[in-house]
Amino acid sequence: MIRAHVLICGGTGCTSSGSKSIQQAFESNIAAAGLEEEVKLVQTGCFGLCALGPVVIVYPDGTFYSRVTTDDVKEIVEEHLLKGRPVERLIYSDTGEENVDITNVSLNDTTFYKSQNRVVLRNCGVIDPDNIDEYIAMDGYAALGKVLTEMKPEDVIQTVMDSGLRGRGGGGFPTGLKWKFCAPNKAAQKYVVCNADEGDPGAFMDRSVLEGDPHCIIEAMAIAGYAVGATKGYVYVRAEYPIAVARLQHAIDQANEYGLLGKDIFGSGFDFDLQIRLGAGAFVCGEETALMTSIEGNRGEPRPRPPFPAVKGLYNSPTVENNVETFANIPQIILKGADWFKSMGTEKSSGTKVFALGGKIEHTGLVEIPMGTTLRHIIEDIGGGIPNGKKFKAAQTGGPSGGCIPESLIDTEVDFDNLTAIGCMMGSGGLIVMDEDNCMVDMAKFFLEFTVDESCGKCTPCRVGTKRLLEMLDKITSGKANLEDIDKLEELCYYIKQNSLCGLGQTAPNPVLATLKFFRDEYIAHVVDKKCPAGVCKDLLTFVIDKDKCIGCGLCARNCPVGAINKTDYVAPGHKLPSYTIDTEKCIKCGVCIGNCKFKAINKA
């Protein structure tokens, strides 16, 4: 009889931290303790607290172990599983309260989880993604059964429209409306496409859903197919997601075996087949028409719209395309109703949103919060604030297509319309937090470098325009620009937005425009003062040794890769050895000297 379940995170983050070795260690130690019949090991998807991986949870008590190593496993098995005494030193217990018995704290009571509302991530970290029976036990495929046996296609579309669900891939277009546009179009073949390309730097929401709950995407796509009259579907997922691809393919095989895909599903006469198509990692293929072009076997380039995919999409046939997170909401909307979904979020942005929280933040990982939650609450409460006592500066949303939210707007309620109103965008859900040590001009330059590399080159405004933008930013960060260049930079941004063919080019200038709007003073400092206020842009930095703080240990000189640090004749009061100085002509500004100085005698000026 099974009396305990040990859940081990099998998401990409924890896998890269060695969770497979930990699982093997549990298997051998459980066997050595003679507990094979009493303890069951389950490999799950991502729990969300990626910074604390590898993660292990022991049920039924729900003890959450973080940063587990293979050396810890024997102790957990012998103390917790055999003797019933949790290993306190490994338990994560951030509740925000003092004098709490951490062995009795539920994971949902921690500051990271208690403000979340997990709809999309409801099964991630809870079930074995490779076991269809566990998904079915969590009401899996009940929504598909309800749709096929109790609802007409138009009823399904109306339910999705009434829910207010908007596309979670970036633009926020009403999902039900997209389906409604596709449904009446007659064709011998229609398609449903899932965009799992997820190209934004720092974004891993869709990957985690596919790794932790692949069946919910299969179920949702079949529901969409029934609603619009499509009998074939494709999941376009990047090849860099091997765990997600393997689990999704296994789930598709299981669904076919159970009769939940293929011919005459639930005896309804409805057929639906699903296949995976791998992408090579082109960012432009996140744009729906480029994605469909890639599925067709051609180079991923966008097509002019209209006609829109609902009329003429994949293989010139009517097509519905949504991303992973959008589809993941569908089964719950069908089962619990449109009003339930609308009870979360805001009037125009219902439901929840999953964010990949990263950057200068204590708790990096996945969070799912109701739309309308303030940025302050996400960063300070759920995210645990900025490390090392640093000051929050800005949060970048929407990746290369988005903008930044400055400290002055930290109380902004995060939803589609509020972010658009301040010149940002939701995007797919990457949320990168920056502190006082980040240069906003350099940040804009980073995203432009990415966009220039990822432009497909089909239209001149994007292919040439983004390259010119990057050259201007290079000029500014190297101290060679003037104030007129800032005006030219801004003018070119608007030209590219208005004339590019697809969303990649139209949104590429957003990081530049947002930083110009909120941090124009930093641009001016780079141009007029020839200084980088954050001390990031190397061409504008000078490394200086404070001769009165220098004790003459010589660590900086011994580690300087170019021999730019020399001894002086000056001996500071209270010290016995001569101080050192930096030859600014030789210095390559690598920062090695600062890293080696234990007395903080070297500064960037």
CA separation for the pair 574, 272 (Å, rounded) = 82
Q: How far is CA 464 from CA 285, 364, 460, in A?
A: 19, 36, 5
CA separation for the pair 68, 16 (Å, rounded) = 13
109 pLDDT exceeds 90?
A: no
Q: Class assignment of domain 4-109?
A: alpha beta
Q: How far is CA 416 from CA 171, 365, 367, in A?
A: 8, 21, 17
DSSP string, 501-531: SSHHHHHTTHHHHHHHHH-HHHHHIIIII--
CB-based contacts of 384, cutoff 8 Å, min separation 6: 94, 111, 112, 361, 362, 363
Region of residue 84 (phi > 0: left; psi between -120 and 50: alpha; otherwise: beta): left
- The pLDDT of residue 196 is 94
Torsion, CA 9, CA 14, CA 368, CA 91, rounded to 10: 70
Q: pLDDT tens, 148-159?
A: 999 999 999 999
The β-bridge relationship of strands 232-238 and 270-279 is parallel
Whole-number mean pLDDT of the chain?
92
Q: How far is CA 197 from CA 271, 278, 508, in A?
A: 26, 9, 18
428 pLDDT exceeds 90?
A: no
Local structure of residue 58 (DSSP, 8 states): E
Q: Alpha-carbon Rg of the chain, whole angstroms?
A: 27
CA separation for the pair 116, 107 (Å, rounded) = 12
Backbone angles phi, psi at 37, to 5 degrees: -85, -10
Task: Specify whether domain 542-604 bears CATH 3.30.70.20.
Answer: yes
CA separation for the pair 68, 76 (Å, rounded) = 10
Local structure of residue 174 (DSSP, 8 states): B
Determine the CATH number of domain 132-341. Answer: 3.40.50.11540
- The pLDDT of residue 541 is 87
Q: pLDDT tens, 211-258?
A: 999 999 999 999 999 999 999 999 999 999 999 999 999 999 999 999
CA-closest candidate to residue 570, choices 601, 541, 597 = 601
Q: pLDDT tens, 401-421?
A: 888 999 999 999 999 999 988
Q: pLDDT tens, 573-596?
A: 888 899 999 998 899 988 899 999
Burial (CB < 10 A; 0-12, 13-18, 19+), residue 250, is middle
Q: pLDDT tens, 389-404?
A: 999 999 998 888 888 9
CB 454 within 8 A of CB 399: no
CATH topology of domain 440-529: de novo design (two linked rop proteins) (1.20.1440)
In this prediction, residue 49 has a pLDDT band, given cuts at 50, 70 and 90, of confident
CA separation for the pair 502, 514 (Å, rounded) = 20
Q: What is the mean pLDDT of residues 313-330?
A: 96
Region of residue 543 (phi > 0: left; psi between -120 and 50: alpha; otherwise: beta): beta
CA separation for the pair 149, 142 (Å, rounded) = 10
Listed range (93-107, 203-217, 356-370, 454-468) with the worst mean pLDDT: 93-107
In this prediction, residue 99 has a pLDDT band, given cuts at 50, 70 and 90, of low
Q: Between these two residues, 225 and 457, which has the higher pLDDT value?
A: 225
Q: pLDDT tens, 495-553?
A: 999 999 988 888 899 999 999 999 999 999 999 999 999 988 988 988 999 999 999 99
Helix ranges (DSSP H) in 35-174: 70-75, 132-137, 142-150, 153-163
Tell how far CA 276 is from the center of its chain: 22
170 pLDDT exceeds 80?
A: no
> Which amino acid, one-letter code, is at 532?
C
Angle of CA points 344, 323, 421, to nearest 5° = 55
In this prediction, residue 424 has a pLDDT band, given cuts at 50, 70 and 90, of confident
- The pLDDT of residue 283 is 86
CB 49 within 8 A of CB 363: yes
In this prediction, residue 98 has a pLDDT band, given cuts at 50, 70 and 90, of low
Residue carrying structure tokens 């303890």: 39
Q: Give long-range contacts, CB 8 A cutoff, 24+ apart: 264-270.
A: 265/144, 265/148, 265/222, 266/144, 266/145, 266/148, 266/149, 268/148, 268/149, 270/148, 270/225, 270/226, 270/231
CA separation for the pair 177, 571 (Å, rounded) = 76
Where are the CATH 3.40.30.10 domain residues in the chain?
Answer: 4-109
CA-closest candidate to residue 165, choices 334, 329, 340 = 329
Where are the CATH 3.30.70.20 domain residues in the chain?
Answer: 542-604
Backbone angles phi, psi at 596, to 5 degrees: -95, -15
Tell me the HSE value of 435 on the side-chain side, using a 13 A CA sphere: 15
In this prediction, residue 100 has a pLDDT band, given cuts at 50, 70 and 90, of low
Where are the CATH 1.20.1440.230 domain residues in the chain?
Answer: 440-529
- The pLDDT of residue 105 is 67
Q: Residue 208 is inside which H or E element, if any?
A: helix 205-212
For residue 298, give both structure tokens.
């051609």
CATH topology of domain 352-435: Ubiquitin-like (UB roll) (3.10.20)
